[in-house]
Structure 1
Amino acid sequence: MVTIERFDPAGADLGGYHAVLVASQAADRPEEPPLPLAEVAGRLAKPLPGMGPAAHWVARRGDDVVAFAGVHFLDAENSGIGLTDVVVHPGIRRSGIGTALLRAVLPELRARGRKSVEGWQVVAGSDGERWAEARGFRRVRTIERLALVVDETDPACWDVPVPPGYRLRRWAGAAPEDVLGSYAVARGAIHDAPLGDSGFRWPEWTAERVRAAEAEARAQGLVQHLVVAVHEETGTVAGLTEVCVHPRRPDWGYQRDTAVVAAHRGRGLGRCVKADMVRWLLAERPGLRWISTNTGAENTHMIRVNREVGFVTQAAMIAVRQELSRLV
């Protein structure tokens, strides 16, 4: 018999939860190194910046965890979305456990005023996609999951000159005050990146929101590395790229936003800042072995830039969505 219950990561034995995650990843994304237990525990205790508060459920067969569900209650522009992940051990899929977990989650979504449910971690062609389709979810976006594997990449990929009229600037942590305003504007250039039919909306970046995001990252232990391209004539930030590293996993970098202000596109700034980022990270963190990123499949320009600096596609992912009122 399977039972479903709320799950408190702070007071729980995470071994069973971690075992389900590792088995699922091995079945669906075998090309990726598995997440260590310490990293899983850390993410459950403190969700990554921008993810909002979270709630968790597990399904048990006897004393064994066989599946779990988690919801991140996004905020600000995305406060109507419940970002939901349902994971079932590969050995017992297609037995109704995932659907039972989804039913358990729905009352909490309603109680928190969510209007839609989205899932962003579904591997294309997997059991998860077939399950989501059968539950009435529709595909709203296709995502390429890429990785730069340091030992398998030709360092010549990172030998990229700075375009004339620009200079590069780096920092870890808080943005310097003298570029804070233009840096916030440049972050807003990500709004041009397509999102398909997802209900998600990019943040509206201001100087105050930048400082709040930096504080949240510090509280989580994340180290933000920024490389920006500064326009020499105006002294403003024209493009940027960000990679975060956590002490729990010093061998892994998490590529976050890369954006170039519209007036400065077509000059190779995206490739330039990303290449410089890799050089900087490897000089500062010689143990770094892997940098991961997700890019919308329709964003062909950024996929090309990623590949030019050594990223290769690891998996095709999809985002799915359904209105909460239509989930029964």
Structure 2
Amino acid sequence: MQIEELDPTDPAARRAWHDVTERSVRADRPHALTTTFEAFEVLATSPSEHVARTWLQAVVGGEVVGTADLELPLTENTDVAWTEVAVLPGHRRGGVGRALWVAVAERARAAGRRRVGGEVTVDLEAPGPGLDFAAAVGAVEKHHEDHLLADLPVAAAPLDPAYEVVSRRGRCPDEHRAAYLAMRNQMNLDVSSGELELEVAVLDDARLASSEERLMRSYDVRVAAARRRSDGVFGGYSLLFVPHGADYGWQDDTLVMPEHRGHRLGAALKAVNYACLPDDVRLVHTWTAPTNAAMHRTNTALGFRVVERMAEVEVTL
């Protein structure tokens, strides 16, 4: 067995790496939301100024049998690395995952990182080996969230008449960017992270523009925002991604600003986004921490059901 770095300039190698990752993940997780090949292509061929990425692969007999990615934040949290390890079922429990992990840890240490974090997601009905592997390499759970699914259409969620919805696709218009940035940065402050000790990312216009450009290359980006009719102040937003050509979407942020809470804006904004999707989009994924009781109630009322448990784990190097 050899551990190699993926050559991101090789299209065939990129395809093979993604294919093995996809098959490895889906072997244990029928409800998994994985990175589409189109989105992976953006990551692999367009380096980000905020994250350095390396992709590793385990090769046996000339075939890729396992993969790992290594992400090194360059702006915030520069003491942390992030990784996920995936191994094809027929090659598990033979040292492939361990070898990939050792390679990840070596590179993280060389980059001056003190911690390596990652997400381990298991199906509720048939948990795979992910958590056992994480424990075997010394990972400790710091936070967890439920992965939920909803079949479309969802239940109706009326909008408070004191507000109107402003919907868009793609780039945020210039006239709304200041308000949108304020809400995005509030979301970064509010998001639950359990025992993870992380610096909060602060978005400015340039960083938002870079993110929008990259995301729009892989996704139909949809935002529904609530604007108070009396003064035009934005009170919340919901951000939804639909991979190009996919029959599903995934729910990213939903935030209601503190002074606008209590009007059920979160449910209404989600429902508006989902109602505007094409007929061939039939499923939406979302994640919610069990401690976020309000959002869990909102999701349940819309018809979401819990299908997986995602643990955020961390290894101290």
- Asked whether the two chains share a fold, i.e. TM above 0.5, the reply is yes
Residues 291 and 217 of structure 1: CA distance in aligned 2, closer, same or farther (over 3 Å): same
Q: CA deviation at 1:47?
A: 7.7
Q: CA deviation at 1:212?
A: 3.4
Tell whether the 8 Å contact from 1:228 to 1:273 is kept in structure 2 after alignment.
yes
Name the counterpart of 1:94. Answer: 93
Alignment of 1:20-169 (within 5 A): 20-32=20-32, 38-39=37-38, 42=41, 45=44, 52-123=51-122, 125-150=127-152, 153=153, 155=154, 157=155, 159-169=156-166
Q: CA deviation at 1:234?
A: 2.6
Name the counterpart of 2:312. Answer: 319
Name the counterpart of 2:185. Answer: 188
Residues 129 and 95 of structure 1: CA distance in aligned 2, closer, same or farther (over 3 Å): same
Instruction: Classify the secondary structure of the residue corresponding to 1:210.
Output: helix
Name the counterpart of 1:265. Answer: 261
**2-structure distance, mates of 1:263, 1:161:** 20
Residues 278 and 46 of structure 1: CA distance in aligned 2, closer, same or farther (over 3 Å): farther
Q: Does the alignment pair 1:235 with 2:232? A: yes
Residues 40 and 62 of structure 1: CA distance in aligned 2, closer, same or farther (over 3 Å): farther
**2-structure distance, mates of 1:50, 1:312:** 37
Q: CA deviation at 1:134?
A: 1.5
Name the counterpart of 1:304. Answer: 297
Between stretches 306-315 and 17-26, larger displacement belongs to: 17-26
Give CA deviations for 1:175-211 in whole Å, capped at 9, x if unaligned.
2233222221122232222211123444223444433
Q: CA deviation at 1:260?
A: 0.7
Between stretches 101-110 and 195-204, larger displacement belongs to: 195-204
Provide TM-score, normalisation by structure 2.
Answer: 0.88
**1-structure distance, mates of 2:198, 2:46:** 18
**2-structure distance, mates of 1:299, 1:5:** 41
Between stretches 115-124 and 270-279, larger displacement belongs to: 115-124
**1-structure distance, mates of 2:207, 2:14:** 34
Tell whether the 8 Å contact from 2:105 to 2:116 is kept in structure 1 after alignment.
no
Q: CA deviation at 1:170?
A: 0.5
Instruction: Classify the secondary structure of the residue corresponding to 2:102.
Output: helix
Between stretches 107-116 and 160-169, larger displacement belongs to: 107-116
Name the counterpart of 1:292. Answer: 285
Tell whether the 8 Å contact from 1:49 to 1:213 is kept in structure 2 after alignment.
no
Give CA deviations for 1:158-183 in whole Å, capped at 9, x if unaligned.
x2221132111011122223322222
**1-structure distance, mates of 2:47, 2:150:** 21
**2-structure distance, mates of 1:106, 1:287:** 42
Name the counterpart of 1:275. Answer: 271
Instruction: Classify the secondary structure of the residue corresponding to 1:276.
Output: helix
**2-structure distance, mates of 1:40, 1:221:** 5
Q: CA deviation at 1:4?
A: 1.2
Tell whether the 8 Å contact from 1:260 to 1:269 is kept in structure 2 after alignment.
yes
Give the 4+ runs in structure 1 shifted more than 6 A.
33-36, 47-51
Name the counterpart of 2:241. Answer: 244
Q: CA deviation at 1:105?
A: 1.8
Name the counterpart of 1:211. Answer: 209
Aligned residues: 312
Q: CA deviation at 1:270?
A: 0.4
Q: Which amino acid aligns with 1:76?
A: T
Provide TM-score, normalisation by structure 1.
Answer: 0.85
Percent same amino acid among aligned pairs? 28
Q: CA deviation at 1:141?
A: 0.9
Residues 255 and 98 of structure 1: CA distance in aligned 2, closer, same or farther (over 3 Å): same
Q: CA deviation at 1:138?
A: 0.1
| Structure 1: gaps spanning 5 or more residues | none
Q: Which amino acid aligns with 2:172?
A: A
Residues 197 and 50 of structure 1: CA distance in aligned 2, closer, same or farther (over 3 Å): farther
**1-structure distance, mates of 2:49, 2:87:** 26
Give CA deviations for 1:74-117 in whole Å, capped at 9, x if unaligned.
23223332110111112222222211111112232123332210
| Structure 2: gaps spanning 5 or more residues | none
